[in-house]
A and B are shown apart, each in its own frame.
Chain A
């Protein structure tokens, strides 16, 4: 039996994307399976792990906790949209590499989205503020310390004028 499809049209990383989707398709499945933007990871699928974090109209949210059909007319930025315009890694992404802010990499897109949103609103966060901002993102490899180091390094580099 074919399922009813709903039209949806949203801006993803600056490009207008239009599709017809089942109502129960989550945003993360829409990004990964329909748009083939597989940078956003899907972990627990019920809002605990934070791996699927994306930026919706400027604020970080969990993309497994909303249905794509709800976002008609909205603007979403995924990890793919956070690089420099030429596609090379951003200051924050470079800092994750330099400070060993990742091991297996599964949580990394969510960590970078959460940290990016933090640095946008607070360019020189304290360690406690960084830990609070990534408090909703689980990492089972790093023990978090290098992730905090990476965000601090990125903040320092941005303060020195890195773009």
Chain B
């Protein structure tokens, strides 16, 4: 046994598998920043292997039935925090009411990581290039946070501050995410990204959702850019620019240019700032076009 212990990568921790959310919150309030919740572990375990994270307490919430619901409630798709990504890929309610999420999941990791990774885990991990947080911001989802004293709600657009830095406090657990469902009959959406290998971190990603009326005029639009800001970047300014108009090629070109002007990407080893801005404009153009075409294919009620 000693030789295995010598070779283990993570720092030692105390492990507790909880059976209720209240128990998890109690442990978090007791240990604060020394404790970490684990669900799918697809981001946390690598960070622990590299000792970028070394919690003294690991609280396993994988088996909490109260965090595994997927249901349509009050014009929102409500997803429990530990619902696995592969479950959303196959869930009929999610496919029908939140098509943008399914477009996004095609870009999330690989089969093996989606089988384990959770929707809530991706959000609280807050990688600025991750797809699920971008969808949450673009649709302005509501995040429900639980701690020992009760529940609070925060808008996804106010949740992400910087890479891996969010509004969640050490004693809070993300309980559920409420993604707004757009009621329009002519709804279109698209998610595109550029990465080194499909499933790797996005250099830049973009997603759009548009709703059109019977005459083809835009009634609601949302666009966001990932990987080009320190947080998933929703651009409500672009939505406002498109609403009430017919989304022709000229308008979409202008919107994509405006979107690229609203972001301020950094350069790194993988892509220069200039290349990221170029990608942001190109991807914004593609997703707005594809979302519009998707909506135009659908009959008005």
Seen from chain A, the residues whose Cβ lies within 8 Å of a Cβ on chain B are 3-4, 6, 22-26, 29, 33-34, 45-47, 50, 53, 56, 59-62, 64-67, 69-70, 72, 114, 117, 132-133, 135-137
Contact = CB atoms under 8 A, between A and B. Distances in A.
Contacts of B12: 3-4, 22-24
B4 A61 contact: no
A33 B5 CA distance: 11
B287 to A, nearest CB: 21
A137 B12 CA distance: 29
Contacts of A62: 42, 112-113, 116
B161 interface: no
Interface string B191-216: 00000011100000000000000000
Contact of B46 (A22, A25, A47, A53): A47
Contacts of B46: 46-47, 65
Contact of A23 (B14, B50, B199): B14
A135 B62 contact: no
B15 interface: yes
B111 A66 contact: no
20 contacts: A3-B5, A3-B12, A22-B8, A23-B58, A25-B8, A26-B9, A29-B8, A45-B9, A46-B46, A46-B49, A47-B45, A50-B110, A59-B115, A60-B111, A62-B42, A65-B116, A67-B15, A135-B110, A136-B109, A136-B110
B252 to A, nearest CB: 29
A55 B49 CA distance: 22
Contact of B45 (A59, A64, A72, A117): A64
B299 interface: no
A117 to B, nearest CB: 7
B112 A136 contact: yes
Nearest to B48: A24
Contacts of A50: 110, 112
A24 B109 contact: no
Given A53-B112, A59-B115, A136-B110, A29 B50 contact: no
Contacts of A60: 111-112, 115
A66 B8 CA distance: 13
B52 to A, nearest CB: 10
A157 to B, nearest CB: 23
Contacts of A34: 4
B41 interface: yes
A24 B112 contact: no
B275 interface: no
A7 to B, nearest CB: 11
A135 B199 CA distance: 8
B7 A65 contact: no
Nearest to A50: B112
Contacts of B8: 22, 24-26, 29
B11 interface: yes
A131 B65 CA distance: 34
Q: Which 8 A-B pairs have the closest CB atoms?
A: A136-B110, A23-B15, A46-B46, A24-B10, A59-B115, A65-B45, A33-B4, A46-B49
Contacts of A4: 12, 14
Nearest to A131: B198
A62 B48 CA distance: 15
A53 B110 CA distance: 12
A53 B112 CA distance: 8
A136 B49 contact: no
A138 B58 CA distance: 30
Given A61-B116, A65-B113, A66-B45, 5 more contacts: A22-B4, A23-B14, A69-B15, A70-B17, A135-B111
